[in-house]
Amino acid sequence: MIVIGFDPGSIIFGVGILKKENDRISCLYSEEIKLQEKDFYTKMKVLWQRLEVLYQKFPIDCAAIEEGFLGKNVKSMNVLSTVRGVVLGSLLSRDIELKFYSPRAVKLALTGFGNASKSQVGNMVNILLNLNPKTSSLGADESDALAVAFCHLMSIKPGGMEL
């Protein structure tokens, strides 16, 4: 099974692709998509196009994304909701199912502690995926995307059923 995980952002968008074969989980790919364009429409177009390239390159079975949290800044929440909508639309066009996970659920799946720090999650991503932090320096959004994909794989029982 190949899962793509997303850590949505309107400036830096994290993507992580994991493969689970038997009981082994391995990292196939990860990146931080830099959305440097000035206008929001162009940023979303660049995001859609980059995701399309990844869907063509990897036979994605399912996707997972970190849910937003209700913050005080309504404008930021609206922007991130639109980013999630672009992701959902790109997945719908490919008939790839999307699952949502709270930040707490992701942290719990990786560290066993729902209030873990970003650095603790990043360290566990390196350990669980057997990545060498000296040779593969993951950005925070990239690491979070891998964590979301890992969380999804951990939620699937043997035989393909979700917990």
Q: Is residue 160 included in any domain, yes or no?
A: no
Task: Quote the domain boundaries for residue 103.
Answer: 2-154
Q: Is residue 161 included in any domain, yes or no?
A: no
Q: Residue 100 pairs with which residues in a beta bridge?
A: 65
Instruction: Please compute the mean of the pLDDT values over residues 110-119 and round it to a whole number.
Output: 86
The whole-chain average pLDDT of the chain stands at 89
Residue with tokens 């399912």: 62
How many structural domains compose the chain? 1
Q: Is residue 162 included in any domain, yes or no?
A: no
Worst-scoring range by mean pLDDT, 15-19, 79-83, 91-95?
79-83
pLDDT of residue 51: 97
Residue 139, pLDDT > 70, answer yes
> Going along 35-126, which residue ranges are E strands?
62-66, 97-101
pLDDT of residue 68: 73
Specify whether the CB–CB gap between 3 and 149 falls below 8 A.
Answer: yes
Residues designated as active site: 7, 66, 141
Residue 34, domain CATH: 3.30.420.10
Instruction: Please compute the mean of the pLDDT values over residues 55-81 and round it to a whole number.
Output: 86
